């Protein structure tokens, strides 16, 4: 049990799962649940995936483009415009994207689209930055853009190999992600180890370039009102990346990394669990206070909280 939901002094619900905390050298500080069981990190794999795109020859014009290549963005105007620019530099356009059309995740932008009668758009899909970067890497490497989402494509083979190398373990399964790209199963320990390797890498390496770009442009990584963006803005040096179905990973140079998976695949318990793990790395509670407890509403007031369970204390 990682997270408890308390309402008026009554334990209403719990969220079960697994969580691992590694120190700066990659040694375990805390293991709760089965942290060696393969999970699907989903978008939490994106930071390491982006290093494979650089190794294939992709040369983004600036770190903003690189941050978007590892993003799960809101589909706000600047996100879509930047993804279109990445494609244009490679001589491609939105029709080359293999991700499905979507409405923007940002509530205000989506409402404007609905009022205007706009249809879902591939650029608005939260993974369009990753797909634009994948296609750009194919062009740079001389690989075909057709079929770039097939597991046998040289781009996907390079990504699979890179994830295994960074995590220190072989990819145990490959499935189809929500955006249509291959998704690679790793243990939580492997996920944490891989993201930690990015923030601990030497300056100028592909690993460090990705970490630095994401931390320099946290709004591009997620967007307005998103937890990943606000955590990276609030904690200097912290790299954070969430994934669908209850996965989150974070790493801080000189301190270590945290990775978790909630078995129910929900979002409600992720931040209390993640920040409890970050406390084990020595981060001060005041820097994490916004995320340690989630209020539970009752009537016009707050009657409880979502908080980390005793297993994480």
Give the tens place of pLDDT for each residue, 64-113. Answer: 999 999 999 999 999 999 999 999 999 999 999 999 999 999 999 999 99
- HSE-CB of 248 using CA atoms within 13 angstroms: 26
Residue carrying structure tokens 């996100």: 79
- DSSP-based three-state secondary structure for 240: strand
Whether residue 159 contacts residue 49, with contact meaning beta carbons closer than 8 Å, is answered with: yes
CA proximity to 118, closest of 131, 130, 107, 104: 104
- Quick count: other Cβ atoms within 10 Å of Cβ 111? 12
Looking at the DSSP assignment, which residues form a beta bridge with residue 297?
A: 302
Residue carrying structure tokens 């993201």: 195
Eight-state DSSP code of residue 172: -
- Quick count: other Cβ atoms within 10 Å of Cβ 240? 28
- Tokens representing residue 25 in the block: 């050298």
Backbone φ and ψ for 224, nearest 5 degrees, come out as -60, 125
- DSSP-based three-state secondary structure for 53: helix
- The pTM score is 0.97
Helix (H) or strand (E) holding 174: strand 174-176
pLDDT tens-place values along the chain, 313 residues long: 999 999 999 999 999 999 999 999 999 999 999 999 999 999 999 999 999 999 999 999 999 999 999 999 999 999 999 999 999 999 999 999 999 999 999 999 999 999 999 999 999 999 999 999 999 999 999 999 999 999 999 999 999 999 999 999 999 999 999 999 999 999 999 999 999 999 999 999 999 999 999 999 999 999 999 999 999 999 999 999 999 999 999 999 999 999 999 999 999 999 999 999 999 999 999 999 999 999 999 999 999 999 999 999 8
């Amino acid at each position: 049990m990682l997270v408890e939901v308390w309402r008026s002094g009554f334990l209403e619900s719990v969220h079960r799962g697994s969580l691992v905390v590694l120190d700066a050298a990659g040694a375990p500080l805390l293991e709760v649940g089965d942290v060696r069981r393969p999970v699907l990190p989903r978008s939490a794999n994106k930071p390491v995936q982006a290093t494979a795109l650089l190794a294939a020859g992709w040369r983004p014009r600036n770190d903003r483009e690189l941050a978007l290549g590892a993003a799960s963005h809101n589909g706000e105007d600047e996100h879509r415009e930047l993804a279109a620019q990445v494609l244009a530099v490679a001589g491609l356009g939105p029709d080359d994207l293999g991700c499905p059309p979507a409405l923007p995740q940002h509530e205000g932008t989506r409402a404007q689209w609905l009022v205007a009668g706009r249809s879902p758009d591939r650029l608005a899909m939260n993974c369009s930055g990753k797909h634009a970067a994948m296609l750009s890497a194919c062009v740079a490497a001389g690989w075909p853009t057709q079929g770039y989402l097939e597991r046998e494509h040289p781009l996907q083979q390079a990504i699979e190999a890179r994830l295994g190398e960074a995590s220190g373990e072989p990819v145990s399964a490959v499935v189809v992600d929500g955006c249509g790209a291959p998704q690679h199963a790793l243990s939580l320990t492997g996920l944490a180890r891989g993201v930690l390797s990015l923030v601990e890498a030497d300056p100028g390496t592909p690993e460090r370039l990705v970490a630095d770009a994401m931390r320099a442009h946290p709004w591009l990584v997620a967007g307005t009102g998103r937890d990943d963006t606000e955590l990276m803005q609030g904690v200097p040096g912290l790299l954070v990346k969430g994934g669908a179905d209850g996965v989150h990973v974070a790493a801080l140079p000189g301190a270590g990394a945290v990775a978790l998976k909630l078995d129910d695949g929900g979002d409600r318990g992720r931040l209390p669990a993640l920040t409890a793990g970050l406390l084990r790395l020595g981060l001060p509670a005041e820097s994490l206070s916004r995320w340690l407890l989630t209020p539970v509403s009752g009537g016009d007031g707050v009657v409880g909280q979502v908080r980390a369970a005793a297993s994480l204390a």
